[in-house]
Amino acid sequence: MARVELRDDWTVNGDVEDALKTARAFLKKSGMTIVDSFDDEIRFSQGSSLWTRLFGGWFVSAATLPKMGTATFKRTKSGVRVRVKIEETLGFGVLDPLLHSKYEEFFKKWMDDFAADYGE
């Protein structure tokens, strides 16, 4: 279980393929690597535990912090339900308050930007 994570969901117009296309474009734009992709789900990651531990979480950019996430897409009566989760994957050790805050700020802005790409 991650010590820092953010979840959100929203409903968009269109079909699942359109929602997937928008998600793939956003993930590419935000520097995420798509790890796995299915008809209704995308798994992605970014960052490196090695770099973060080597240089220290305080000194690396938030984009370099290790993280992973999942976006799922489900057709509903009112459109396509997009559910997104992003979480830190630093691993063992103490997550000090400054690094915790750095993750939270990054996740909040990232999620807002993701939703904005759907017009939310």
CATH of the domain at 79: 3.30.310.80
pTM of the predicted structure, to 2 decimals: 0.90
Nearest to 102 by CA among 68, 57, 54: 57
Residue numbers of the domain that contains 80: 5-117
Q: Residue 13: CB partners within 8 Å, gap ≥ 6?
A: 79, 80
Segment 1-13 mean pLDDT: 91
Structure tokens at 35: 């790890």
> For 70-79, what is each residue's pLDDT tens digit?
999 999 999 9
Q: What angle do CA 47, 50, 54 make, to 5 degrees?
A: 115
> For 87-106, what is each residue's pLDDT tens digit?
999 877 777 888 889 999 99
Residue 10: CB atoms within 10 A of its CB come to 15
When divided into structural domains, the chain yields a total of: 1
Strand ranges in the chain using DSSP code E only, listed in sequence order: 5-12, 33-37, 41-46, 67-76, 79-88
Structure tokens at 25: 């474009």
